[in-house]
Structure 1
Amino acid sequence: MCLAIPGEIIEILPDRPELAKVDVSGVRRSINIGLLGDDSPVPGEWVLIHVGFALSKIDEQEAQAVLEFLEDIGNAYTDELEALQQSWIE
């Protein structure tokens, strides 16, 4: 499964305009925004990121919905592991 993760643009690197610094759930990374072409994001906008590349711009509401979905997936997996550890087959 391939996931795209939302990140908020913090800054466009002045010496490398194809790169931007993003905040992904509190983690800051540099990503490539070159695939967005003429629709380059500006600080404060959100993008979907896959393997270090911004694939598309999204609004903040969509970004929050995706982040909540990803968190729920993680919680469901954790809950399933805990249930499995507590189960017994006799």
Structure 2
Amino acid sequence: MCLAIPAEIIEVDPDSDTAQVALGGVVKEISLALVTDVTVGDYVLVHVGYALNKISQDEAEHTLALIREIGMLQDESGASDASDAGAGRSA
């Protein structure tokens, strides 16, 4: 199963068709080869270094909240929003 994660575009380089995105305190360079008309502040779904499509801020925030709830994403302080993020996991 593959998972695309919403991330906010914080910088666009039109010359290289890439962007810097921020997610949980991590900044990553991604390709914009598969999307058009994205600007700083937009949210995109990112999978293996590619923006797959542009999504609304509301949809991005809702999806990120769900991912945090299951303990799969930390906030910028490094803490998970899930109260029992390790429950049910085996080593």
1:57 counterpart = 2:65: no
Partner amino acid, structure 1, of 2:11: E
Q: Among residues 52, 58, 69, which one is paired with 1:72 in the alignment?
A: 69
Cα RMSD after superposing both structures: 2.0
What is the percentage of aligned positions where both structures have the same residue?
41
Per-residue CA deviations over 1:22-43 (Å, capped at 9, x if unaligned) read 101211010001101xx23100
* TM-score normalised by L of structure 1: 0.78
Gaps of 5+ in 2: 72-81
Q: Among residues 48, 51, 72, which one is paired with 2:45 in the alignment?
A: 48
More helix per residue: 1
Gaps of 5+ in 1: 86-90
* TM-score normalised by L of structure 2: 0.77
Residues 5-24 of structure 1 mapped to structure 2, 5 A cutoff: 5-16=5-16, 18-24=17-23
Q: How many residues align?
A: 80
Distance in structure 1 (CA, Å) of the matches to 2:18 and 2:32: 6
| Residue in structure 1 matched with residue 79 of structure 2 by the alignment | none
2:34 is paired with a residue whose SS is helix
Point out 4+ residue stretches in structure 1 off by more than 3 angstroms.
none
